[in-house]
């Protein structure tokens, strides 16, 4: 109740004057143009990020598939790399080089895929937040 009285007193002491000049409309037009430019800029950035992620996904699938095909095309009795030793840990690495290479390659492909998918979800979230902010601006203007 006290706040209502304080607001009422404030508006009685400081009346709002509406003029017939075009200054208000000019300022409003400038603000609306700046909001529109910002929306266009964000839309262009989101489109750029989306295309970049799709290109990265495509390149990752092609390169990962090619590397996996290369690893699988090597004969099974021939190790991927050789240390020319007769015992020890390096001999074990040499004997299981094919399995180790396929495992590491699969992990890298999976990690890359998860990163790209995570980035795509982030782009979608940016787009959704831009839509929400735009609708809020439209309501407040």
Q: For 5-14, what is each residue's pLDDT tens digit?
A: 776 777 777 7
For 74-109, the pLDDT digits (tens) are: 787 777 777 788 888 888 888 888 888 888 888 888
pLDDT given at position 19: 64
Identify the DSSP state of 77.
T
Task: Name the residue with tokens 């209502």.
Answer: 4
Taking the mean position of all CA atoms in its chain, how far away is CA 89?
A: 42
Least-confidence region, from 80-84, 85-89, 126-130, 135-139: 135-139
Q: In 2-114, at which residue ranges do the beta strands (DSSP E only) sit?
A: none
Whether the pLDDT of residue 24 is over 80: the answer is no
pLDDT of residue 43: 84
The pLDDT value recorded for residue 18 is 62
Identify which has the larger pLDDT, 130 or 69. 69
Rounded Cα distance, 54 and 48, in Å: 10
Tell me the Ramachandran region of residue 127: left when phi exceeds 0, alpha when psi lies from -120 to 50, beta otherwise: alpha
Specify whether the CB–CB gap between 116 and 61 falls below 8 A.
Answer: no
Say what angle helices 23-73 and 97-140 make with each other, to 10 degrees.
Answer: 170
């Amino acid at each position: 109740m006290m706040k209502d009285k304080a607001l009422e007193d404030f508006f009685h002491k400081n009346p709002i004057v509406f003029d017939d000049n075009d200054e208000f409309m000019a300022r409003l037009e400038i603000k609306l143009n700046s909001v529109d430019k910002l929306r266009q800029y964000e839309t262009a950035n989101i489109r750029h990020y989306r295309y970049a992620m799709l290109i990265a996904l495509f390149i990752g699938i092609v390169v990962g598939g090619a590397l996996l095909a290369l690893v699988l095309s090597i004969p099974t009795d021939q190790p991927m790399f050789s240390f020319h030793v007769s015992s020890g840990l390096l001999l074990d690495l040499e004997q299981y080089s094919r399995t180790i290479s396929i495992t590491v390659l699969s992990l890298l492909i999976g990690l890359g895929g998860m990163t790209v998918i995570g980035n795509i979800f982030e782009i979608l979230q940016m787009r959704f937040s831009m839509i929400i902010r735009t609708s809020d601006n439209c309501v407040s203007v």
